[in-house]
């Protein structure tokens, strides 16, 4: 059973203060992972106040690239420091966590399709480690380097590792309906298109509609939930909104 878990930037950092770890929230997530005694777990974390702050400063996004090596390094270095904090806390809690840095492995082609060789991650899993990846910058053909988000890494990992379960933990409790209630299950995009908006419009903002569409294509159930539901997800239960084809 292989599980891919994303801890959103809002869970691991204090988004209102540049380059600040949210100690209480990260500690709670780490405790939930440690209590679950995981096997074959891959963790991905978002950028929060580390990545986005630095990417904005240099005008770099997932489509807007740069050839300025110092700018690329500054964005990557902020994410690497956040990754160090996450890995260290997991190790302190007894988890065999190891870092995997997408900048050193991945690339986008000229059509912006992202690929990531997974030999190191898969071998770490086979050897009982918990690989911890992070949103990052990645070399991008004809554009220099662009941002790769944690969500993009999650779908790449889930496909490449043939994951059985995917979890996206952020500060929202799930996909919300028009009354702000969590939708327990989504099996077709048309069923939620009206509440998510723009059923046939291209979702340039990368909002919930794009996320749901990408997760419906995964072939593994994906759970979108808030921090309170993390222990339930790690115990194998349904958490928040479950998206399955």
* Size, binding site for ligand IP8 by CB under 6 A: 15
Q: Which is nearer to ligand IP8, 53 or 165 (CB)?
A: 53
Q: With contacts defined by CB under 6 A, name the span among 11-19, 46-54, 123-131, 213-221 that binds ligand IP8.
A: 46-54
Q: With contacts defined by CB under 6 A, name the span among 96-104, 120-128, 144-152, 233-241 that binds ligand IP8.
A: 144-152
Q: Across 8-151, where does the E strand assignment appear? A: 41-45, 97-99, 107-108, 114-115, 130-134, 136-140, 144-148
The answer to whether 197 is a known ligand-binding residue is no
From residue 96, alpha-carbon distances to 7, 41, 43, 71, 168 in Å are 17, 10, 12, 32, 21
Number of helices followed by number of strands (H, E) in the chain: 10, 12
Q: CA nearest 158: which of 242, 235, 230, 216?
A: 216
The answer to whether 65 is a known ligand-binding residue is no
One of 65, 102, 135, 173 touching ligand IP8 (CB under 6 A): 135
Q: How far is the CB of 138 from ligand IP8 (least distance, A)?
A: 9
Binding to ligand IP8, residues 70-129 (CB under 6 A): 75, 79
Give the full edge-to-edge strand order of the sheet including 136-140.
114-115, 107-108, 136-140, 144-148
Q: At what angle do helices 208-216 and 150-160 cross, to 10 degrees?
A: 0
Q: How far is the CB of 125 from ligand IP8 (least distance, A)?
A: 21
Binding string, residues 6-25; x marks residues near ligand IP8 by CB under 6 A: ---x----------------
Nearest residue relative to ligand IP8 (C-beta): 135
The sign one gets for the Cα dihedral 81, 156, 64, 193 is: negative
The answer to whether 9 is a known ligand-binding residue is yes
Q: With contacts defined by CB under 6 A, name the span among 14-22, 50-58, 66-74, 186-194 that binds ligand IP8.
A: 50-58
User: What is d(CA 68, CA 89) in angstroms, rounded to the nearest whole number?
Assistant: 32
Q: Which is nearer to ligand IP8, 47 or 173 (CB)?
A: 47
Question: Is the Cβ–Cβ distance between 58 and 51 less than 8 Å?
Answer: no
Binding site for ligand IP8 (CB under 6 A): 9, 46-47, 51-52, 55, 75, 79, 135-137, 147, 149-151
């Amino acid at each position: 059973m292989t599980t891919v878990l994303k801890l959103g930037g809002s869970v691991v950092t204090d988004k209102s203060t540049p380059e600040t770890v949210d100690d209480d929230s990260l500690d709670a997530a780490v405790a939930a992972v440690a209590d679950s005694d995981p096997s074959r777990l891959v963790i991905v974390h978002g950028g929060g106040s580390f990545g986005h702050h630095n990417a904005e400063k240099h005008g770099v996004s997932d489509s807007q690239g740069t050839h300025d090596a110092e700018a690329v390094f500054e964005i990557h270095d902020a994410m690497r420091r956040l990754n160090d904090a996450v890995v260290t806390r997991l190790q302190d809690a007894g988890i065999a966590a190891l870092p995997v840095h997408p900048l050193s492995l991945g690339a986008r082609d000229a059509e912006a399709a992202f690929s990531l060789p997974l030999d190191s991650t898969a071998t770490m899993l086979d050897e009982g480690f918990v690989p911890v990846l992070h949103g990052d910058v990645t070399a991008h053909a004809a554009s220099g380097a662009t941002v790769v988000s944690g969500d993009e890494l999650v779908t790449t990992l889930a496909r490449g590792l043939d994951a059985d379960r995917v979890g996206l933990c952020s500060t929202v409790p799930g996909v919300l309906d028009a009354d702000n209630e969590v939708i327990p299950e989504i099996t077709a995009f048309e069923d939620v298109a009206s509440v998510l908006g723009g059923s046939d419009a291209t979702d340039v903002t990368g909002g919930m509609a794009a996320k749901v569409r990408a997760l419906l294509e995964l072939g593994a159930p994906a759970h979108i939930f808030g921090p309170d539901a993390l222990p339930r997800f790690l115990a194998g239960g349904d958490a928040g909104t479950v998206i399955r084809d």
